[in-house]
Amino acid sequence: MEIPRHWRLKKQRYALVGEVCPHCEKKIFPPRDICPNCGNEARDLFAFSGKGEVYSYTTIYEAPSGYDSTTPYTVALVKLDEGPIVTAQLTDQGEQPTEIGMPVEMVTRKMRDDGDERGMIVYGYKFRPVLKN
């Protein structure tokens, strides 16, 4: 059970809320309070648009515990329109194959059950092929 951690990360997980550096305007995800670009303090919240493209990907057949109910699934490096690259599952592809450069958008989905069916349900961001431009 990691209830405190789930609670602390909810904003970034549910809505892709990161930070923007007040000094150099670099957009930061995940939030780390220090700008990786200029090294200054960066604590201003910034909600990412959720739009991006697949930078690289791999498909998982043998999943870590807690994630095995949804195999097989694809994990991608997604380059967000605002710059940062995030690691996330892809979802809702149907028969659409994954391709590098594929435009994707963020959706909030069920990640896993924490523990068993008595534990809390963990929600977070995934990406899917863009529904509509």
Answer yes or no whether residue 15 interacts with another protein by CB under 8 A.
yes
Binding residue for Zn ion (CB under 5 A) from 16, 20, 26, 112?
26
Q: How far is the CB of 117 from another protein (least distance, A)?
A: 10
Contacts with another protein in 93-112 (CB under 8 A)? 94-95, 107-111
The distance from CA 93 to its chain's CA centroid, rounded to whole angstroms, is 16
On the question of a cis peptide bond just before residue 103, with omega within 30 degrees of 0, the verdict is no
Q: How far is the CB of 127 from another protein (least distance, A)?
A: 12
Binding residue for another protein (CB under 8 A) from 47, 49, 56, 99?
47
Q: Identify the H or E element spanning 107.
A: strand 103-113
Query: Which tokens go with 91?
Result: 């979802």
Beginning with the edge strand found earlier in the chain, give each strand of the sheet holding 121-129 in spatial order. 85-89, 73-80, 51-60, 103-113, 121-129
* Contact residues: Zn ion, CB under 5 A: 21, 23-24, 26, 35, 37-38
